Amino acid sequence: MDDVNQGDFFLTINTYHDAKRQVEAVKQLAQQNVDGIVVMTGQITNEMTTVLQQVSVPVVVQGQPSRHFETVNVDNQHAGELLVPLIANVKPTDVLLLGVDPTSDYNVGQTRFNAIIQALDNNMQRLYTTFDRTETAEIMRNYLETHSSPKYIIAATDTIALGALAALQEQHIAVPANTKIVAFDNTPAAEIVTPGLSTVSFDYFALGQWLYHRLKDLSQAEPVLTDPLLRGELVRRSSW
């Protein structure tokens, strides 16, 4: 957003994935007479929708689809479709979907997995965790105490995948020889970790540019409800 900034001043409020904090943040921004609001969130609750509809400035939502507001998102459905060829010849019971509860983030927790679930007839294992790498590692450790290591792990984010990788390596489970891992986002850590993490890459720099342009467009014209989706590409590394 800074790269395409046309002289605006950005005020950032971190709400730590807390829906109530997000609502309060929007209220605070509205009171400060900002020119527009970008909401980057895992969920648009009914309360959030009501508060945003009362705001008199342009609003753009990133992270979730919306019937009420302009949105700019990565194409999570297409990202999942990119992974389907990787599982074409595997047994569904050998696959572990490792992600967050869809009620906390539907796009990351469900949409990214939709194509995979459809391809494997929903017969794979599923384990919920958080966006925190350390917590994911602990959840994976507990899982391995009562389950054999899955042959394939599809993680909702790179950070989640790295937590799982740490737990597997502690148990001397070789990746990719015994367990293959693939994820989404292509964060810098995905390239430098050993083994390198296969992941779907999104151009988040371009996404930020889109967000700013969309917000500026809304301040100059009548809004047209559309949902531009930024597609990703699969980056193959040695974890799969």
Q: What is the pLDDT of residue 43?
A: 87
- CA pair distance 211, 39, nearest whole angstrom: 10
- CA pair distance 183, 201, nearest whole angstrom: 9
Which domain range does residue 51 map to? 2-74+203-235
Can you give the pTM of this predicted structure? 0.91
Same domain (yes/no): 154, 108: yes
CATH code for position 112: 3.40.50.2300
Q: Which residue has the tokens 């945003």?
A: 52
- CA pair distance 181, 154, nearest whole angstrom: 6
Whether 31 maps to a domain, the answer reads yes
Average pLDDT estimate for 211-237: 82
Nearest to 98 by CA among 40, 174, 149: 149
Q: Is the pLDDT of residue 238 over 80?
A: yes
Average pLDDT estimate for 118-127: 92
Same domain (yes/no): 111, 30: no
Q: What is the pLDDT of residue 123?
A: 86
- CA pair distance 96, 155, nearest whole angstrom: 8
Non-local CB neighbours of 45 within 8 Å, separated by 6+ positions: 19, 23
Three-class SS of residue 52?
Answer: helix
Nearest to 87 by CA among 116, 111, 118, 122: 116
Same domain (yes/no): 28, 69: yes
Q: pLDDT class for 122, splitting at 50, 70, 90?
A: confident
Average pLDDT estimate for 21-31: 93
Same domain (yes/no): 154, 111: yes
Same domain (yes/no): 136, 86: yes
Q: What is the pLDDT of residue 220?
A: 72
Same domain (yes/no): 116, 132: yes
Q: pLDDT class for 188, splitting at 50, 70, 90?
A: very high
Q: Is the pLDDT of residue 225 over 80?
A: no
Other C-beta atoms closer than 10 Å to the C-beta of 1 total 16
Same domain (yes/no): 112, 178: yes
Per-residue CA distances from 105 to 19, 84, 99, 232 (Å): 11, 22, 10, 19
Q: Round the average pLDDT of the chain to a whole number and report it.
A: 93
Q: Is the pLDDT of residue 62 over 90?
A: yes
Q: Is the pLDDT of residue 226 over 70?
A: no
Whether 145 maps to a domain, the answer reads yes
DSSP string for 75-111: -HHHHHHHHGGGGTTS-GGGEEEEEE-TTT-HHHHTG
Q: pLDDT class for 227, splitting at 50, 70, 90?
A: low
Q: What is the pLDDT of residue 10?
A: 93
Q: What is the pLDDT of residue 218?
A: 84
